[in-house]
Chain A
């Protein structure tokens, strides 16, 4: 923790040092305060406060240093929980509206009891020109046959550094769905780790990002297959513009004993400008034979045949690129199981687009 530069987002299996992709050093402030989110929930959903010790055993994608940072900040852990067999229809909303020059930290724990369903939407916003630092850690425990959908939307100001760590652990037949949208913020470090412990439990991750200007996005997603017949699908769709930088680390770890497990990982990156930097490292670790792991990545410009087709229909090339960029993000937005949230984001994105055309 020297100089408050913390090593985070470490790749579970490091590679050549010269690529500088193994991990990230993150500058964190010495003095932080607890953020004050607005929580909207139906009365049947329990919301209270718990101690960090209750969630220590669930490890996140950003790693041990993030745990230490959150724990040492001394913040309370906001706990959202369901009862057994409870199907929560309306999503729980946790909205963070950050103010100027804040240095805030928050921790959230979502506990879905056996046979329950819950959706939690977390929206991180600020005024568009603000600077600041915010760190959030969300830990999730998915009970037997339970399902948790976690939606996180990042719409922070141009000068924000944002640390977003997700950690999940699933019991038998539990399902964790994670939808991450990164739409702004100067420096974003995002980690996510799911331990698929229970038999036939599953993870579905959808990440959409739109990075522009000099923004920097550093991600580390890990799916650990521990139980038998566990399944993960990690889909990442993104658009890079201007001089943006993005690094995606994605690891599927098929561990001894995870017989019948299946892990899939796919990243599709559209590069809009010639000054962007894209780094991708999709890792599969395999210690079991009766498993299957697949990953794929496509990086670059649009396919020539698609361009030709759309241009032959009268579209300008630049318009085709804009349309396809928007389509990628829209595809991720469409997976959010809450119409109000979808409309909110689409409206926000339209505002950004109009603003761009008015520049």
Chain B
């Protein structure tokens, strides 16, 4: 009898992300490693913060020093803030013309396909390199509708300063957890988007975050306000080359979805495998509004990522679609959180996790239905696929229901490729190898089909599923 081979699923090909340019001192300003009051004040000085923001940073630092590291997730013992450079500024100004971007930085984004994507399918692009944006542009016809898309720093000093002050870290206060506090203290870069009442942005906006410096942290802040009846699709991408020392990403995303408005927020996260990705994302949705998350987590050494949605208005809705691929040396703890705070609110969470080559993936979620949320409905479906016996996969979903007038359903499944499914496909004429390949690719496809085309292509680059032989 011929010996059976185990199906092989190749690791993610990271070569298109791992290129890097050495940062020369004359081209970059780097703050001292570590986290002290003096460092926070220096960042504030460099950025020319208004006084309230300077005070906010210092208060956040106090909170950071008081908060404990969470004990419930993957270990972050390898992260030492004393070794992290919290601010790295390219010595260039933000521009709306790629030709004005320094060559090394421009070439980085060229290789990542950002200018090409902008030309072909985006209404606006922001590109951040280390701690600052180097490029920001919005199509004129979109700007003419009153849409604002700029960096947070510019917004802090412009006509939207009050709007920033009224919203900045109100959804994710620094007291939320230790790394929210860290973000409050040293945040830099990120985007501010405002879509006025009734305006539909037909094609997506995209921000791309590239962390190039070894041993650095990236702390960008994304603040999006989609006003009543407006509609936006925002795409976020991130990557970094791999180094042998720890890098840190502790970004923060705050999304305000107005009455009857709709926001789709898509992310392909592909940090390098030395990255600690401790990101916080949160949305609040008013009456009749819709929040859609599409999330692909492929990179980083350790991730804590659970986008949260607060359904604050009646008839509001949330949809979360996520895929996580944990390979060698990765421990990806991902999922979603939703709070139903109003009547007739609905939410749907669908996730897929793949673990291989010693990787660990955890699906973690919480669904809270408060007493005011009469006729609330929630459904959660999470599936995990184990591709070998040296990997790990856990699901830890929590539900808290505080009204009788609710319907909550949850289903989860962990396992390997189903023999029955293989048998069924083989009975329809596929070889065993083809059947297994189809099942594995189909498992991730349920999420990739939710992505915009250009990101689905990127995802296909990320997951190159090649099946060899049959699982024994």
Contact = CB atoms under 8 A, between A and B. Distances in A.
A17 B69 CA distance: 12
24 contacts: A16-B337, A256-B389, A271-B401, A271-B403, A273-B404, A278-B402, A279-B398, A279-B401, A280-B399, A281-B398, A282-B410, A283-B397, A286-B393, A289-B388, A290-B416, A292-B415, A294-B412, A295-B411, A298-B409, A299-B401, A300-B404, A300-B407, A301-B404, A301-B405
B398 A16 contact: yes
B95 interface: no
B414 A15 contact: no
B395 interface: yes
Interface string A281-320: 1111111111111111111110000000000000000000
Given A14-B72, A271-B401, A300 B408 contact: yes
Interface string B365-409: 010000100000000000010111101111111111111111111
B366 A295 contact: no
Interface in A92-120: none
B394 A284 contact: yes
Nearest to B392: A287
Nearest to A273: B404
A276 B400 CA distance: 11
Nearest to B472: A290
B51 interface: no
A289 B406 CA distance: 36
B94 to A, nearest CB: 37
Contacts of B91: none
Contacts of B70: 17
Contacts of A275: 371
Given A282-B412, A288-B389, A274 B394 contact: no
B364 interface: yes
A289 B356 CA distance: 10
Interface in A240-280: 254, 256, 269, 271-280
Interface residues of A, number: 42
A299 B415 contact: no
Nearest to A245: B402
Say which size band chain B's interface belongs to.
35 or more
A22 interface: yes
Nearest to A22: B72
B15 interface: no
A19 B414 CA distance: 24
Contact of B400 (A272, A279, A293): A279
A284 B406 contact: no
B227 to A, nearest CB: 30
A15 B413 contact: no
Interface string B125-148: 000000000000000000000000
B366 A16 contact: yes
B438 to A, nearest CB: 19
> Chain B at the A interface: mostly helix, strand, loop or mixed?
strand
B61 to A, nearest CB: 22
A297 B399 contact: yes
A21 interface: yes
B366 A300 contact: no
B391 A298 contact: no
Given A271-B404, A276-B404, A290-B389, A15 B398 contact: yes
A252 to B, nearest CB: 9
Closest 4 CB pairs of A and B: A289-B386, A292-B415, A271-B404, A299-B408
A323 interface: no
A295 B404 contact: no
A291 B405 CA distance: 37
B71 A278 contact: no
A13 interface: yes
Contacts of A280: 398-399, 401, 410
A254 B405 CA distance: 35
A19 B366 CA distance: 8
B405 A274 contact: yes
Contacts of B413: 292-294
Given A284-B414, A297-B410, A13 B397 contact: no
Given A19-B398, A21-B398, A278-B401, 19 more contacts: A13-B72, A21-B400, A256-B389, A269-B401, A272-B404, A275-B371, A276-B402, A280-B410, A288-B386, A289-B386, A290-B416, A293-B413, A293-B415, A294-B414, A295-B410, A297-B399, A297-B408, A298-B409, A300-B405
Q: Which of B366, B386, B396 has the most CB of A within 10 A?
A: B396
A15 B364 contact: yes
B388 to A, nearest CB: 6
Nearest to A248: B399
Contacts of A291: 386, 414-416
A286 B408 contact: no
Given A282-B410, A297-B410, A289 B416 contact: yes
A15 B404 contact: no
A358 B306 CA distance: 50
B400 A278 contact: yes
Nearest to A293: B414
Contacts of B403: 271, 274
Nearest to A294: B413
Nearest to B418: A292
Contacts of B405: 274, 300-301
B67 to A, nearest CB: 11
A307 to B, nearest CB: 12
A281 B404 contact: no
B412 to A, nearest CB: 5
Given A272-B404, A296-B411, A17 B398 contact: no
Interface in B54-102: 70-72
Contacts of B400: 19, 21, 277-279
B399 A299 contact: yes
Contacts of A276: 402, 404
A321 B337 CA distance: 31
A205 B147 CA distance: 58
B332 to A, nearest CB: 15
B439 to A, nearest CB: 14
Nearest to A276: B404
Nearest to B381: A296
A272 B392 CA distance: 39
Nearest to B413: A294
